[in-house]
Structure 1
Amino acid sequence: MSLRKIVIGVGIVAVVGYYLLGNKVKKIIEQFQNVKVYPVAFKNLDAKWNDGIPYVTFKLDLRMFNPTPVNFNATIVAVTLKRILFYDKKNVLFGSSEVNINALNIPANSSIVLKDILVKLDLQTAITTAIAILGNDGFNVKEIRTEAVVSILGIDYKLS
């Protein structure tokens, strides 16, 4: 077998593999658009200083709900749930969390809970959010909007 045939064969396999992986990734993105993320429990509130900048950390349990009749399965190496961003009802970012999960399975019409996700927010945002909460009717967990940042083949996608 000549080197030319080997190179052509490897090239064909690489193109077919990339095409199949691209289709799987596209399907995962479409399915993830339907997944809903809800905060469940807040724990371990703590204030810290980092290079003169105050920030607040806490642990959060998140429920990821798959309302579709199809199992959500993202277990390929090319897909990673990198970050979860948290917004208030006025669409102001008040916290973020580095998650880095690359294997996520949610059965059809059910949910899973991701436990003890460390959320970090700067103190200025925390104070502004607290004043807004005290000035209004109170805090409602349902008013929190979450946005997931998913990395697929090195490209970040925001899914809300």
Structure 2
Amino acid sequence: MSVKKIVIGAGILAVVGYFYLEQRVKKIIEQFQFVRIYPVAFKKLDMKWNDGKPFITFNLDLKLVNPTAQNFSAQITAVTLKRILFYDKKNMLLGTANVNVKAINIAANSSTIIPNVPVQMDLQTTILGVLGVLNTSNFNSNDIRIEVIVSILGTEHKIY
């Protein structure tokens, strides 16, 4: 076999592999739209100062629920669940959780728990959010919006 044939064959395999991976990633993103994330347990609450600003850190167990009749699997190394952002109903960032999970499997109509996810919240923003909640007596858990950042082949995508 000549070097030219090996290079052409490797190029064709690379292009086919890229398109296969792209289709697989699109399917994972479509399925992830249905996955719901709920906080389960708070652990190790601590308050710290960073650059003159107070912030709260704690570990959070997150429950990922797959309400569909189809198994959810994101077990390829090209996809990483990077961060989870928590917003109030006025789109003010309340906190950030750095997850960095590469393999997620959730059976159909089932759930899984990701334990000890470190969350950091700016204390000033959190206090303003709590005061806003106290001013409105009809607060419910739907007032907290969760945004998920997924890294796919090094490019970050937001999933709402």
TM range (shorter): over 0.9
Structure 2's unaligned 5+ residue stretches are: none
Where 2:86 maps in the other structure, the secondary structure is: strand
Find the counterpart in structure 1 of residue 105 from structure 2: 105
1:41 and 1:138 map into 2 onto residues whose CA distance is 23
Structure 1's unaligned 5+ residue stretches are: none
1:14 and 1:67 map into 2 onto residues whose CA distance is 36
In the TM superposition, residue 42 of structure 1 has moved relative to its aligned partner by 2.5
Q: Aligned ranges for residues 24-63 of structure 1 at < 5 Å?
A: 24-63=24-63
Mapped contact 1:39–1:141 kept (Cα < 8 A): no
- Of 10-19 and 142-151, deviating more is 142-151
CA offset digits 1:39-83 (Å, max 9, x no partner): 222233221012322111122121111111111000101000000
Question: Quick one: structure 1 residues 139 and 56, their matched pair in 2 at CA, closer, same or farther if it must change by over 3 Å?
Answer: farther
Say what the alpha-carbon RMSD is for the aligned residues: 1.5
Find the counterpart in structure 2 of residue 159 from structure 1: 159
Where 1:131 maps in the other structure, the secondary structure is: helix
Count residues with an aligned counterpart: 160
Q: Identity of counterpart residues, as a percentage?
A: 59
TM-score (ref. length: structure 2): 0.93
Find the counterpart in structure 2 of residue 73 from structure 1: 73
Where 1:4 maps in the other structure, the secondary structure is: helix
- Of 127-136 and 137-146, deviating more is 137-146
Where 2:100 maps in the other structure, the secondary structure is: strand
In the TM superposition, residue 139 of structure 1 has moved relative to its aligned partner by 5.5
Where 1:89 maps in the other structure, the secondary structure is: coil
Q: Aligned ranges for residues 9-20 of structure 1 at < 5 Å?
A: 9-20=9-20
TM-score (ref. length: structure 1): 0.93
Where 2:151 maps in the other structure, the secondary structure is: strand
